[in-house]
Structure 1
């Protein structure tokens, strides 16, 4: 089978699907499949000029809103770049973003296209203060799910909770497949260590949706209670300076290290004790599985795919969204009891190895590809 993996972000983009797909490609190549990767380079801007028409709704009623206009121009650019670069035909195209899926189906209408929706872009934009809930941008973005259902040959997402969310915007939500993200275990090497002071780590883009402000408040509470710690924050983003000021104001700047962007945080994580990320929304939360494979104790919020990865009290701890006191309580529990912390970390590692292995993903993808090809 000759396949194309159509990404939105380039494969070298850190985190999430973009960094996962090359490992999937290598596994399929080892099995004798032909598989290529394709994405839109960041430098391609405002090149496409073709008219955009969707079959299930008229996007022009939402024109003039910045997010909508950006999406439409990016769609045009994706079509332009695809016409420039792809000269061959494929047996199947697996797209990993609504724009990529719709562009590929427009250009290759006779080729089966499978779309994986990895996250809720409208939710992230709302939480990050970029668009208003119930506004035209959110309506446009959610209507794209219906357009995908109308156009492509199959839709997959990464968690049961996100499947339920998507079901509110399509006609046949039950037909959406679920394949959680998978990870090459060879990338993760747990390291035996004994830190005198508990080492907390979080890895994420520094945006409001990730709840790092709540984490800083929780750490301030821990310091007031007299518990020593070091908080390592890996990642960058538009609110980094705001978070650094907040750390100063909360009197925890000396305990907090802002590293900025790091290409391979999984090489760094095994030396710490507790992974914590109080996200306000997560379709899956790949970094939790990565931290589990590094054998860290997990503390997260009871949202989306995170609550499907963590069974509270068994392989990690879950807390409500935006409740820094509850987060401080959970962190205190794992910080002050090394045996309990190891028990949680060990359970998280075992679940991640069995549930989120790359081999498991490959097998599920093969089944999904066969299903989509059978619908031609």
Structure 2
């Protein structure tokens, strides 16, 4: 992408040699603003920035990423970073878990994805479901497989494409076999170009039990897929009100998922395309370009503060 990047080993927290190295680096590059991600960034690069009077932004992806420890509290009080989060749910979580934070210290800018030029114009036969999450227990793949097994027993035709790898991949494949779904499920493994697989599907499934603001959902919406997900994390913040019936309650079990998927399988092509249009339109309003402009304004304002 033409970006200048350096791979560095940070070493232990508060590493004086690495802090000195960042001070020299920031001076040489005339750095205006330092953005840190994990705590170790703050405990080395954040300190170097503070010593030079450079403003710091701490980008936090999940509320649990910051813990209420003496070390974290002390550094926050000294460095005074502005915190950037991708959804309101994470902001609420931070304020609850870290009572020393103030609401005005946390800025919310949604993650943006570049929308496809237009939503799909056709629907596949049989209908193609897809999931592109890591194959970990909290992502809810088991619920999907159990729901699809019941739908197969009832005579419904469909395909289920799974993109990704993870800790329970072998377990999920064994479950697929035991549920007699091997003829319906295709495993694609790790893929760099996930969106090319989304373009070949119709319905995106994300029954996760825990999320922040999932990139996988945003990518599927940007391609105009019909989406089905649990109401966890920041999912509801980007979900179109017009298709609220496709958003599962956080505590929903497999039977709720079966009902929604059965309804989609019974739906005519026009209705499926119309639903996808709603998701795509929402993605357009929260596009990568729009969110990048918000980030640029935020960084510019922060970079002028001392």
Indicate whether the TM-score tops 0.5. yes
- Indicate yes or no: 2:135 matched with 1:237: no
Name the residue aligned to 2:222.
Answer: 293
Does 2:28 align with 1:100?
no
TM norm structure 1: 0.70
CA distance in structure 1 between the partners assigned to 2:6 and 2:119 by the alignment: 33
In structure 2, what is the Cα distance between the partners aligned to 1:333 and 1:115?
43
Distance 2:5 2:245 in 1: 35
Matched, 1:282 2:223: no
Query: Residue 351 of structure 1 aligns to a residue in which SS?
Result: helix
CA distance, structure 1, for counterparts of residue 188 and residue 24 of structure 2: 39
8 Å Cα contact 1:105-1:152 kept in structure 2:
no
Residue in 2 aligned with 1:168?
A: 96
Matched residue count: 297
Range that drifts further, 82-91 or 233-242 = 82-91
Q: CA deviation at 1:95?
A: 2.4
Please identify, of 292-301 and 204-213, the stretch whose mean Cα deviation from structure 2 is larger. Answer: 204-213
Structure 2 residue runs without a partner (length 5+)? none
Tell me, in whole angstroms, the C-alpha distance in 2 between the residues paired with 1:234 and 1:77. 42
Cα distance change on mapping 1:314 and 1:278 into 2, 3 Å: same
The answer to whether structure 1 residue 88 and structure 2 residue 29 are counterparts is: yes
Go from structure 1 to structure 2 and tell me whether the alpha carbon gap of 1:367 and 1:247 turns closer, same or farther (over 3 Å shift): same
Q: Render the CA deviation track for 1:282-310: whole Å, top value 9, x for unaligned.
A: 11012112111111001000111112121
Asked if the contact 2:121–2:273 (Cα under 8 Å) also holds between the matched residues in 1, the reply is no
Equivalent residue, structure 2, for 1:72: none
Contact 1:273 1:297 in 2 (8 A): yes
**Partners in 2 of 1:295 and 1:88 — Cα distance?**
42
Cα displacement string for residues 85-122 of structure 1 (whole angstroms, at most 9, x for unaligned residues): 87534111122333334431123222211111123556
Q: Distance in 2 between matches of 1:103 and 1:88?
A: 17
Unaligned runs of 5+ in 1: 1-21, 27-34, 54-74, 123-139
**Aligned residue number for residue 360 of structure 1:** 290
Q: State the distance in 2 between where 1:340 and 1:105 align.
A: 51
Q: Specify the alignment match of 2:60 in structure 1.
A: 117
1:150-299 aligned within 5 A? 150=77, 151-170=79-98, 171-175=100-104, 176-185=106-115, 190-299=119-228
Question: Which residue among 262, 279, 289 is the counterpart of 1:348?
Answer: 279
CA distance in 2, matches of 1:141, 1:164: 14
Q: Secondary structure at the match of 2:35?
A: strand
- Out of 241, 259, 279, the position equivalent to 1:329 is 259
- Write the distance in 2 (CA, Å) between the matches of 1:281 and 1:76: 38
Distance 2:74 2:291 in 1: 26
Superposition deviation, residue 190 in structure 1: 4.4
For the aligned residue pairs, the C-alpha RMSD in angstroms reads 3.0
Q: Which protein, 1 or 2, shows the higher relative CO under an 8 Å CA cutoff with sep ≥ 6?
A: 2
The CA deviation at 1:36 is 4.5
Cα separation, 2, equivalents of 1:173 and 1:216: 43
Task: Give the TM-score normalised by the residue count of structure 2.
Answer: 0.85
Q: Answer yes or no: is the 8 Å Cα contact 2:240–2:278 preserved in 1.
A: no
